Structure 1
Amino acid sequence: MKPLRWLWIPIVLLVIVLAGGWWLSQRHSPATASQEDPAIAAMLKDPGVIAKGRYLATAGDCGSCHTARAGHAYAGGRMLPTPFGNIPAPNITPDTQTGIGNWNFNDFWRALHDGIGRSGEPLYPAFSYTSFTNVTRDDAIAIFAYLRSLPPVHEANAALELRFPYNVRSTLAAWRAVYFKAGVYQPNASQSASWNRGAYLVQGLGHCNECHAARGAWGGLEARATLSGGQIPEQDWYAPDLSTKTNGGLQGWGRQDIIDVLKKGQSLKSAAVGPMADVVASSTQYLRDDDLQAIADYLLSLPARATPAPMPASFDSQSLIDRGNAVYTERCANCHGKDGAGVPGVYPPLDGNASVVEPTGINATRVVLLGGFPPVTVCNPRPYSMPPYAQQLSDADVAAVVTYIRHAWSNHASAVQERDVATYRHTPID
């Protein structure tokens, strides 16, 4: 009869999770119709605080998630895809019925810093409170002031599209215990003010680690994987490792390369494509020069990475390379050059390009299929784009040319197989 004891373990765990969720909601239950602190209320009307909040909301790229395509700014409605189902971004305009018009600052702070909703419910981490918890209280007040200054939009929030049991919020108690620890960013006294500002932006408002790190089976970020690169769930793009040191994803990049990509969308090393192009277009191009310098200072300090494991020779990639060479000569060489060096400021290089040599081959494959469209920025208002080849090239041709590019010149990345191309060809763009 002893083996029957094991049957109780899942039941006990479920009870613990449900009890933890109930305790969490009770612990954080807000006071109903609470009044705003008079000092904070005055700050929320200060034009200087509101202007600061607008800048910080732009730095955090809040509008991208909280604005549906062709929708009103910050009125929500955009579905955020996850491996567990879709989560709608809520309306955060000051509408009293469908937005945050009845919130006070403490409600907002609890959501941003603790990941707890106004009614005491744990928020799903599609809202990146795992990063936003680093934001200081003063900056949070400024962001809230800006959001309260927006025109109210009456736009009801869509329903969750999560599968069971992920749609049971109380299960988040266990997730939070493993993956979340609240805490405002603490400056490193051994580093410069610029480095600390960069670390604050990257780790906090910029929430860079939410894309540029691998996630586990439950969608949590591993602490040891900070900014070391990862596949963006449900989007089939790879956010590269951000270390510029040996074996880093940006190995060989200098300060100006980082600044140029964030401000212009393109540098001598690479161009922003896919989700990063959207981030540049809506957020980083508007950052002050000193903040861009600070981000570069921080990224340049990231450590070297371990030597990657040898790539397994699971199939004959040489035949792909030979076929890809022919496709490249016909379709690509006129712009990117026979040597893969591109044309500075016009066509990005392919030799050593972080998006080309990232571990999976996803980015190069999707650019060949969908085209390459660097963001339109103030500094680069008419960027050159690459046409899509999904209609001209077969899966075999795409696999061949991407494999060739990832092996040519100084590149030594793994081959891409035809079945992978077939998968990425049918992945939704948004």
Structure 2
Amino acid sequence: MKSLFALLGVLVLGAAAGWGWWVNFAEPDVADTPAAQVSVERGAYLVRVGNCMACHTGRGGEAWAGGRAIDTPFGIVYSSNLTPDRRTGLGDWKADDFWRALHHGRSRDGRLLYPAFPYPNYTEVTRADADAMFAYLRTVPAVPRENTPHGLRWPYSTQAALAVWRALFFRPGEYEADAERSAQWNRGAYLVRGLGHCAACHTARNALGASSDMMDLSGGLIPMQNWYAPSLASDAEAGVSRWAVKDIARLLREGVSAQGTVLGPMAEVVLYSTQHLSDSDALAMGVFLKSLPQAEPAAAPEVPPVNELVARRGAKLYEQHCAQCHGARGEGIAGAYPPLAGNRAVNLAVTANLVQMVLGGGYPPATAGNPRPYGMPPFVMLLNDADVAAVLTHLRTSWGNNAAPVSELDVARQRGGAR
């Protein structure tokens, strides 16, 4: 009997090792798309939808030449040079190599790529779209810029650790259309799940930086940024099941709509990516996002009473610094400053975004549909932690809002990382 269990154990380990080897080292089956089918113009559109330039252009650097530092809990990853420079970029790459990177997360030389490059999402991109993207990148000016070595801690810096991560959390697979759904819904799903890589922010991650379900879109803290990407599967957070599809599309393309405004990291996504969506693609994404199953509403929280001194302090600070724009009763000004009464962002259980906005201020992105957005100044130098906690507590407990107070500790945790 012991021998039987030992044999079964060996078989299980062998199967696991075989699967890990296949995911990480088996040569993927690739085949070039005929050149006549590749559209450079379409590729230019797709790399914008994928928001590729935002990461692959360093601060103050030349377009597509890489070098942007991406903070992770495991160290710093630097984006690579995507220009067609033969020595430092993609000049010697072929379409097969680019497809392998996008779909399998492997470089031209066989190295496993770090998932700061969101290939767990890009794996769903079709071969035809990948070839179009590569064709466009071949046309950008070549920039001879050496790739910056990553600054990851051991053992995360090793290919062995990355191979284990991939065996546990990565499964390559092109998007498969749902025959029960419309072509428009499937187009939206393809963009949200693949090129849009929405789950990269809107899905919670475990201690190893992975998610058990890359497509649940149920919200999560964005690693190292101190912003919370709210759930797209909850009407209490950022779900849009009750919105008109045209309003969802407008938010994606303009950064503002009658129901909300994008700020923080999402403002950058709209600025560099979604404002360039075609009308049909923006509507398709709206159809898909509107269809997401919504979580059951949580029971109303029991909000502890607010200290009277804190309440007075918060009300006074609001009158001094906030009421001119947001109104004496949090009603806001239509088309300029959002209402705070009944605002989902104000009532979120996670207070990170509120603290970030007060400390760092912020503007919606300047877009073709909203070229001169109204914004909010930073108060990081004007208000101390107790002030910020008091004014946010005032917002969350006034005008029908019913959310827990914000503590000085909540503010202190965010202050060092405000960006």
Question: What TM-score does the superposition give when structure 1 sets the normalisation length?
Answer: 0.87
- For the 8 Å contact 2:326–2:333, the answer to whether it is kept is yes
Q: Pick the aligned partner of 2:367 from 359, 377, 387.
A: 377
Q: Which runs of 5+ in 1 are unaligned?
A: 1-12
Aligned partner of residue 379 in structure 1, secondary structure: coil
Question: CA, structure 1 residues 53+91, in 2 after alignment: closer, same or farther (shift >3 Å)?
Answer: same
Match of 1:176 in 2: 166
Q: Is the 8 A contact 2:68 2:78 kept in 1?
A: yes
Query: What is the CA-CA distance between 1:322 and the residue it aligns to?
Result: 4.1
Contact 1:247 1:308 in 2 (8 A): no
* Corresponding position: 1:141 with 2:140: no
Q: Residue 321 and residue 106 in structure 1: after superposition, are their counterparts in 2 closer, same or farther (change >3 A)? A: farther
Alignment partner, residue 205 of structure 1: 195
Contact kept in structure 1, 2:303 and 2:404, CA below 8 Å: no
What do the CA deviations read for 1:45-83 (whole angstroms, capped 9, x no partner)? xxxx00000001000100001011111111100011110
CA contact (8 A) 1:362 1:424 kept: yes
1:229 corresponds to: 219
Shift of the 322–228 alpha-carbon distance from structure 1 to 2, 3 Å rule, reads: farther
1:363-396 Cα offsets, whole Å, 9 max, x none, are 1111111112111111111111111111111110
Q: Can you list the C-alpha shifts for 1:71-127, whole angstroms capped at 9, x where unaligned?
A: 111110001111011100100111111111111111111110011111111111100
Q: Answer yes or no: is the 8 Å Cα contact 1:371–1:387 preserved in 2.
A: yes
Aligned-partner SS, 1:325: helix
Equivalent pair of 1:270/1:355 in contact (CA under 8 Å): no
Q: Is the 8 A contact 2:218 2:231 kept in 1?
A: yes
Equivalent residue number for residue 4 of structure 1: none
Distance across 1 between alignment mates of 2:224 and 2:293:
29
Letter of the 1:138 counterpart: A
Check conservation: 1:133, 1:204, Cα contact below 8 A: yes
Match status 1:63 vs 2:53? yes
Unaligned residue ranges in structure 2 (runs of 5+):
1-12
**Segment of structure 1 superposing worse, 20-29 or 103-112:** 20-29
Whole-Å separation in 2 of the counterparts to 1:194 and 1:219: 32
Residues 1:302 and 1:411: Cα distance change in structure 2 (over 3 Å): farther
By how many angstroms is 1:361 displaced?
Answer: 0.8
Q: Counterpart of 1:194?
A: 184
Quote the Cα distance in structure 2 between the aligned partners of 1:318 and 1:121. Answer: 60
Tell me, what secondary structure is at the counterpart of 1:149? Answer: coil
Match of 2:210 in 1: 220
1:40 deviates by 3.7
Equivalent-residue separation in structure 2 for 1:282 and 1:403 (angstroms): 34
The number of residue pairs the alignment matches comes to 407
Greater displacement, 394-403 / 246-255: 246-255
Give the 3-state SS of the residue equivalent to 1:300 in structure 2. Answer: helix
Pairing 1:8-87 to 2, within 5 Å after superposition? 26-28=25-27, 40-41=34-35, 43=37, 49-87=39-77
The equivalences for 1:295-314 within 5 A come to 295-308=285-298, 311=301
Deviations 1:250-279 (A, max 9, x none): 574432332222111112222111111111
Aligned: 1:426 with 2:416: yes
Residue of structure 2 aligned with 1:88, choices 66, 69, 78: 78
TM-score (norm. length: structure 2): 0.89
Counterpart amino acid of residue 107 in structure 2:
G
Aligned residue type for 1:341: E
- Corresponding residue of 1:355: 345
Q: What residue is the counterpart of 1:412 in the other structure?
A: 402
2:98/2:134 contact within 8 Å kept? yes
Identify the range of structure 1 (331-340 vs 319-328) with the bigger mean alpha-carbon deviation: 319-328
Residue pair 2:193, 2:215 contacting (<8 A) in 1 also: no
| Alpha carbons of structure 1 residues 338 and 318: separation in structure 2 relative to 1, 3 Å | same
1:259: which partner in 2?
Answer: 249
Q: Which moved more, 1:355-364 or 1:57-66?
A: 355-364
CA distance in structure 1 between the aligned counterparts of 2:26 and 2:308, rounded to whole angstroms: 61
Q: Aligned with 1:123: secondary structure?
A: coil
Q: Is the 8 A contact 2:24 2:163 kept in 1?
A: no
Matched with 1:282 is 272
Distance 1:24 1:247, change over 3 A: closer
1:100 aligned to 2:99?
no
The CA distance in 1 between the partners of 2:214 and 2:278, in whole Å, is 30
Q: 1:237·1:362 contact (CA, 8 Å) conserved in 2? A: yes
Q: How does 1:146-157 map to 2 (within 5 A)?
A: 146-157=136-147
Paired amino acid for 2:76: N
**Alignment partner of 1:238: what SS?**
strand
Aligned to 2:5: none
User: Against the structure 1 CA distance between its residues 409 and 28, is the aligned structure 2 distance closer, same or farther, given a 3 Å change threshold?
Assistant: farther
- Listed one character per residue, the Cα deviations across residues 394-415 of structure 1 (whole Å, up to 9, x for unaligned) are 1101011112222333433332
Cα contact 1:21–1:169 (8 A) shared by 2: no
Residues 115 and 122 of structure 1 are in contact (CA less than 8 Å); yes or no, is this contact kept in structure 2? yes
**Distance (whole Å) between structure 2 residues aligned to residue 412 and residue 252 of structure 1:** 21
In structure 1, the residue matched to 2:319 is 329
Please tell me whether the aligned partners of residues 371 and 389 of structure 1 are also in contact (alpha carbons under 8 angstroms): yes
Q: Hey, what's the Cα distance between the residues in 1 that align with 2:167 and 2:405?
A: 39
For 2:41, give the aligned amino acid.
A
In the alignment, the residues of structure 2 paired with residue 304 and residue 341 of structure 1 have an alpha-carbon distance, to the nearest angstrom, of 27
**Identity over aligned residues, as a percent?**
47
CA contact (8 A) 1:352 1:411 kept: yes
Instruction: Return structure 1 stretches of 4+ with deviation > 4 angstroms.
Output: 16-26, 41-44, 244-252, 309-319
User: Which of 116, 122, 138 matches 2:106?
Assistant: 116
